[in-house]
């Protein structure tokens, strides 16, 4: 019974994180100059991975941009949402996997977050390169750096400040479902 209860709690939390990923961009989108740069869908996906585990983080990360594109038309499905689906899947999956494998603690929270963010951005670049090849357009190193780093600096800073604080607070409150 305990296993079923844990799975139901994980499903509930994952659904909540998915809903937040769909709605949060509306809040930040009210400020067009910085809305997209804050990477609002990344936050709930990373939190889902940390708290629910890698399968749930991976699933929410993959579904969120695709569902948001279908429902609201933003991000545009090809290549935006398609590439983002792989990026966010890696964010959520990697955060959940590393959180489970590495010791708990403030320093390791940052290690998990940084590795997840770097891996996700690399996968985004690979996905964009493949999608550019399929569409016959170019995807250069400069476009990768602009999309993965330069334009995302506000979001990167926000994630590095906000996510460890939220993860530690939620874990202290006993809300982590990512058991060893």
pLDDT digits (tens, 9 = 90+) for 2-19: 678 899 999 999 999 999
What average pLDDT does the chain have? Answer: 91
Cβ contact 92:53 at 8 Å: no
CA-wise closest residue to 40 among 156, 161, 165, 166: 156
**28 pLDDT more than 90:** no
Would you say the pTM of this structure is higher than 0.85? yes
Per the listing, tokens 């400069």 go with 142
**Geometric angle at alpha carbon 11, from 9 and 12, rounded to 5°:** 65
Per the listing, tokens 């929270």 go with 109
**What gap in Å lies between CA 35 and CA 155, rounded to an integer?**
9
Q: Please name the residues in contact with 59: beta carbons below 8 A apart, sequence gap of 6 or more.
A: 14, 89, 92
Cβ contact 47:70 at 8 Å: no
Confidence of residue 33 (pLDDT cuts 50, 70, 90): low
Confidence of residue 180 (pLDDT cuts 50, 70, 90): low
What is the greatest pairwise CA distance in the chain?
53
Q: Write the DSSP symbol of residue 103.
A: P
3-state secondary structure at position 31? coil
Confidence of residue 176 (pLDDT cuts 50, 70, 90): confident
**What gap in Å lies between CA 34 and CA 175, rounded to an integer?**
31
**1 pLDDT more than 60:** no
pLDDT of res. 58: 98
Confidence of residue 35 (pLDDT cuts 50, 70, 90): confident
pLDDT of res. 32: 66
3-state secondary structure at position 142? helix
pLDDT of res. 147: 79
Say which CATH class 2-172 falls into: mainly alpha
Percent of the chain with pLDDT over 70: 97
Confidence of residue 134 (pLDDT cuts 50, 70, 90): confident
Q: Write the DSSP symbol of residue 40.
A: T
Q: Please name the residues in contact with 43: beta carbons below 8 A apart, sequence gap of 6 or more.
A: 20, 24, 158, 159, 162, 163
Cβ contact 43:162 at 8 Å: yes
pLDDT of res. 169: 93
pLDDT of res. 57: 98
Mean of pLDDT values over 92-111: 93
Helical (H) or strand (E) element with 10: helix 2-28
């Amino acid at each position: 019974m305990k296993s079923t209860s844990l799975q139901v709690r994980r499903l509930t939390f994952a659904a909540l994180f998915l809903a937040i990923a769909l709605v949060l961009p509306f809040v930040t989108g009210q400020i067009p100059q910085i809305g997209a740069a804050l990477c609002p869908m990344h936050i709930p996906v990373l939190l889902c991975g940390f708290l629910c585990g890698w399968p749930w983080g991976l699933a929410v990360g993959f579904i969120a941009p695709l569902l948001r594109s279908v429902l609201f038309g933003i991000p545009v499905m090809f290549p935006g949402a398609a590439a983002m689906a792989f990026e966010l899947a890696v964010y959520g999956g990697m955060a959940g996997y590393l959180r489970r494998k590495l010791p708990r603690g403030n320093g390791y929270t940052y290690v998990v977050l940084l590795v997840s963010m770097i891996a996700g951005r690399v996968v985004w670049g690979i996905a964009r390169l493949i999608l550019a090849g399929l569409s016959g357009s170019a995807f250069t190193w400069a476009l990768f750096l602009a999309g993965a780093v330069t334009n995302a600096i506000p979001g990167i800073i926000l994630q590095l400040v906000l996510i460890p604080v939220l993860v530690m607070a939620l874990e202290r409150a006993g809300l982590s479902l990512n058991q060893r």
